[in-house]
Amino acid sequence: MFDVVVIGAGPTGASAALFTAKTLVIDNDKSVTKRAWIENHYGVLEISGPDLIENGKKQASKFGAEMAQATVTNVSKTDNGFKVETDQFEYEAKHVIMATGMMADLAEKIGLTTKPGTEPRIKTILDVDAAGKTNIEGIWAAGTIAGVSMHTIITAGDGAKVAINVISEINGERYVDHDILKA
């Protein structure tokens, strides 16, 4: 049983996994970021999309996230949270963060409420509140699928924001974590 399963390991999903404990990140290796060249991401002079994704996955792993290469085929409610089914395995989680970028097929299949996209070339997004909550309690959404701009710096920040909101709900109080400069 994971506290959180993140679906998608692009900038949004990997960023969310930096904060959440006992996390599994499931990725199908189809992120649009894999085709990007990035020069406007804070703290990075320039980087290829594939390198940005790999760095994000390594950083999330450093903080304890597990990675799985698979395609999620279904998410269903259980007594303890959710069953996340992939083309290879099944996992259980208390919370799920949808970080599927431009892809809304899974979200529509599992009954998440959608609405028309607001970004160019984004047809469908999830209808979420300011915290990232969807219409199904315990399923959250972050990044492009949640209606924020496709720019990696923005989706990464949104992934972190939603992760903090998930942790705060799990803990029953606002979660704050600040790194301290090591002398």
User: pLDDT tens digits for the chain (183 residues)?
Assistant: 999 999 999 999 999 999 997 999 999 998 989 899 999 989 999 999 999 999 999 999 999 999 999 999 999 999 999 999 999 999 999 999 999 999 999 999 999 999 999 888 999 999 999 999 999 999 999 999 999 999 999 999 999 999 999 999 999 999 988 778 887
Specify the CATH superfamily of domain 2-171. Answer: FAD/NAD(P)-binding domain (3.50.50.60)
**Residue 127: what pLDDT?**
98
Listed in sequence order, the residues at least 6 apart from 127 whose beta carbon sits closer than 8 Å to its beta carbon are 112, 113, 114, 115, 134, 135
Single out the residue of 182, 180, 1 nearest to residue 90, CA to CA: 1
Give 97's strand partners: 6, 140
Amino acid 156: pLDDT: 96
* pLDDT score recorded for residue 130: 97
Amino acid 118: pLDDT: 87
